[in-house]
Chains A and B, each alone.
Chain A
Amino acid sequence: MVKTLFVRPSHDDVTSYLHYYSKELVDFSDSCSLTTFNKEKESATTRVILPIIDKNNPSFIMFNGHGSPDLICGHNNEILIQKKLNHNLLKNKLTYSLSCSSALGIGSAVADEQTVFIGYTDEFALGMDVYCQASIFRDKRAKLFLEPSNLLVKSLLKGNSAKEAVSKAKELMKKNISLLRTDPFPDAKDYIPYLFNNYAILEVFGNSDKTL
């Protein structure tokens, strides 16, 4: 039985958006009859997450939150994974980290034939529409940034390889850039460089042919 783990902090504006959008993925994982661990907010901390990885050995982990080349953080920016200290916890797994730059250090450190790390090698950008800040679900601009990320995860959960999942996400990013280009509203053009940034920095480390 494939086990999945979703780490979903929510303690500031950015993580609130990631938390909201990743709910759909938890439901999707459940609907695929996978054993799904959903650890959100105060449960997205080392005290809860590390024992789950250790004892339940999930095949797939999605981290949402802040990061740096050597760190992946959880709720209230508590450090969950740190290069050299415990990055080996991600060995033999398929990990997708929706956090800044973590692919650069942790991704390259953990990568091998049995391990895949998908993530961003630089700062992930998220655009939003101020008029929708109070109701994230109405924010169609933020959706253009987070929809490709969700497609990537769904693609992995459906059994596509890491390489295929990333390719699908990048195709959708390009499609969303085209949509913004032809959008008649004056704000549309302002999001494009930042969405293109995400396209340029999304990478797979390790065995890109690996599937769940």
Chain B
Amino acid sequence: MIPKEKEIIIKQIIIERIKSMAPNVKIALGSSKEGFLGKDELLKEVNNNTVLGKKIIEIQLRYLRALKEGIV
């Protein structure tokens, strides 16, 4: 369980990462009805704490952890 304060910081880091995305990038995640999402749509999902938004945070966090641990 991540403490609330830490969760807020993590969310902010992910938001900043998404804000820095190039305009031509779109990502589709799983079976979401939304299809491919650009940076603004990804930001909206994260800001609104939707299921998809939480998944985006999980994916970004998994990558950052792997980077730190030298897995990738």
A51 an interface residue at 8 Å Cβ cutoff? no
CB contacts under 8 Å to A, within B1-57, are: 21-32, 35-36, 38, 55
Contact partner, A66, options B25, B31, B36, Cβ 8 Å: B31
* Band of interface residues on A: 35 or more
Contact partner, A130, options B25, B32, B62, Cβ 8 Å: B25
Chain B interface SS verdict (over half): mixed
CB contacts under 8 Å to B, within A110-161, are: 122-131, 133, 141
B36–A128 touching, CB < 8 Å:
yes
Q: Name the B residues within 8 Å of A123 (CB-CB).
A: 29-32, 55, 59
A30 an interface residue at 8 Å Cβ cutoff? no
B43 to chain A, nearest CB (A): 13
A200 an interface residue at 8 Å Cβ cutoff? yes
Q: In this complex, which of B21, B27, B60, B66 has the most chain A Cβ atoms within 10 angstroms of its Cβ?
A: B27
A200–B23 touching, CB < 8 Å:
no
B31–A187 touching, CB < 8 Å:
no
A187–B36 touching, CB < 8 Å:
no
A13 to chain B, nearest CB (A): 5
B30–A100 touching, CB < 8 Å:
yes
Please give me the residue from chain A that is nearest to B33 by CB atom: A12
Please give me the residue from chain A that is nearest to B31 by CB atom: A66
Contact partner, A196, options B21, B23, B63, Cβ 8 Å: B63
A194–B27 touching, CB < 8 Å:
yes
A9 an interface residue at 8 Å Cβ cutoff? no
Please give me the residue from chain B that is nearest to A187 by CB atom: B22
Q: Name the B residues within 8 Å of A190 (CB-CB).
A: 21-22, 25
Query: Top 9 nearest A-B pairs by Cβ distance?
Result: A123-B30, A187-B22, A100-B30, A193-B63, A66-B31, A190-B25, A130-B24, A126-B28, A197-B59
Chain B positions near chain A (C-beta within 8 angstroms): 21-32, 35-36, 38, 55, 59-60, 62-64, 66, 72
18 chain-A/chain-B pairs, Cβ below 8 angstroms: A12-B35, A14-B28, A73-B31, A101-B30, A123-B32, A124-B30, A125-B59, A126-B27, A126-B28, A127-B25, A129-B24, A129-B25, A130-B24, A133-B26, A185-B22, A193-B60, A194-B59, A196-B63
